[in-house]
């Protein structure tokens, strides 16, 4: 089993599903005691995973600080958009930037639309997107979707 599957993915899933209270993550650099929320890992393994996931851009925090005895805290801690994408919890906006992919999404949305007018509008939009240059669609979609995502998380 890979280190990702054994250690890092479970830690990332746990942190995405149960963010630390008040954005402050506490862990221990050297403890061999089982981590309370990911018991198949020790506190030291959890700590190393947090650093690894941070280096990969999946976790973010302001300046981490160690204390005597091996305790560490990570203020303003969060799972980043890249971390959420890695777990399938956040869309990969670039993947929807092709006219074909975006048109398929609009078609699926049309199938679920509440009214015939919405269905018709979404299908027309999908047909228009199919005729548009990929670079234009990608640029417009990534810009709009990223802006929506940033406003959703308060950035």
Q: What is the CATH number of the domain that holds 64?
A: 1.10.10
Please indicate, yes or no, whether residues 64 and 98 belong to a single structural domain of this protein. Answer: no
Please indicate, yes or no, whether residues 46 and 113 belong to a single structural domain of this protein. Answer: no
Number of domains in the chain: 2
What is the band of 149 on the pLDDT scale with cuts at 50, 70, 90?
low
Please indicate, yes or no, whether residues 80 and 135 belong to a single structural domain of this protein. Answer: no
Instruction: From 33, 62, 86, give the residue that closes a domain.
Output: 86
Please indicate, yes or no, whether residues 13 and 78 belong to a single structural domain of this protein. Answer: yes
2-56: pLDDT as tens digits = 999 999 999 999 999 999 999 999 999 999 999 999 999 999 999 999 999 999 9
Spacing of C-alpha 144 from chain mean position: 18
What is the structure's pLDDT at 152? 62
Domain of residue 15 covers: 3-86
Instruction: From 57, 86, 115, give the residue that closes a domain.
Output: 86
- Averaged pLDDT for residues 117-129: 87
Whole-number percent of the chain with pLDDT over 90: 54
Please indicate, yes or no, whether residues 73 and 102 belong to a single structural domain of this protein. Answer: no
The pair of structure tokens assigned to 136 is 């234009």
What is the structure's pLDDT at 27? 95
51-60, long-range: CB within 8 Å, 24+ apart, which pairs?
52/8, 53/8, 53/11, 53/12, 53/83, 56/82, 57/82, 57/83, 58/12, 58/82, 58/83, 58/86, 59/12, 59/15, 59/83
Please indicate, yes or no, whether residues 118 and 145 belong to a single structural domain of this protein. Answer: yes
The rounded distance, in Å, linking the Cα atoms of 130 and 133 is 8
18-33: pLDDT as tens digits = 999 999 999 999 999 9
Name the percent of the chain in helix, strand, coil, to the closest 5. 60, 10, 30
Please indicate, yes or no, whether residues 102 and 63 belong to a single structural domain of this protein. Answer: no
The H-or-E segment that residue 66 falls in is strand 65-66
Please indicate, yes or no, whether residues 98 and 117 belong to a single structural domain of this protein. Answer: yes
What is the structure's pLDDT at 90? 75
Lowest model confidence (mean pLDDT) among 53-62, 66-75, 139-148: 139-148
pLDDT mean across residues, the chain = 87
Please indicate, yes or no, whether residues 11 and 74 belong to a single structural domain of this protein. Answer: yes
Count how many Cα atoms sit within 13 Å of the Cα of residue 70 in the half-sphere of its side chain.
11
Please indicate, yes or no, whether residues 43 and 97 belong to a single structural domain of this protein. Answer: no
What is the structure's pLDDT at 54? 97
Instruction: From 86, 109, 133, give the residue that closes a domain.
Output: 86
What is the structure's pLDDT at 114? 86
What is the band of 137 on the pLDDT scale with cuts at 50, 70, 90?
low
Please indicate, yes or no, whether residues 70 and 32 belong to a single structural domain of this protein. Answer: yes
Q: Is the pLDDT of residue 102 over 80?
A: no
Please indicate, yes or no, whether residues 50 and 105 belong to a single structural domain of this protein. Answer: no
């Amino acid at each position: 089993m890979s280190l990702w599957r054994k250690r890092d993915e479970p830690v990332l899933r746990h942190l995405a599903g149960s963010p630390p209270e008040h954005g402050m993550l506490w862990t221990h650099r050297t403890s061999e005691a089982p981590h309370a929320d990911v018991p198949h890992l020790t506190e030291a393994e959890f700590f190393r995973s947090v650093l690894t996931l941070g280096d990969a851009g999946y976790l973010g925090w302001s300046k981490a600080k160690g204390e005597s005895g091996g305790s560490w805290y990570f203020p303003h801690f969060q799972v980043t958009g890249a971390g959420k994408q890695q777990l399938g919890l956040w869309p990969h906006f670039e993947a929807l930037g092709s006219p074909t992919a975006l048109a398929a999404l609009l078609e699926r949305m049309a199938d679920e639309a509440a009214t015939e007018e919405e269905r018709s509008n979404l299908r027309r939009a999908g047909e228009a997107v199919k005729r548009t240059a990929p670079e234009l669609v990608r640029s417009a979609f990534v810009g709009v979707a990223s802006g929506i995502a940033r406003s959703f998380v308060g950035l």
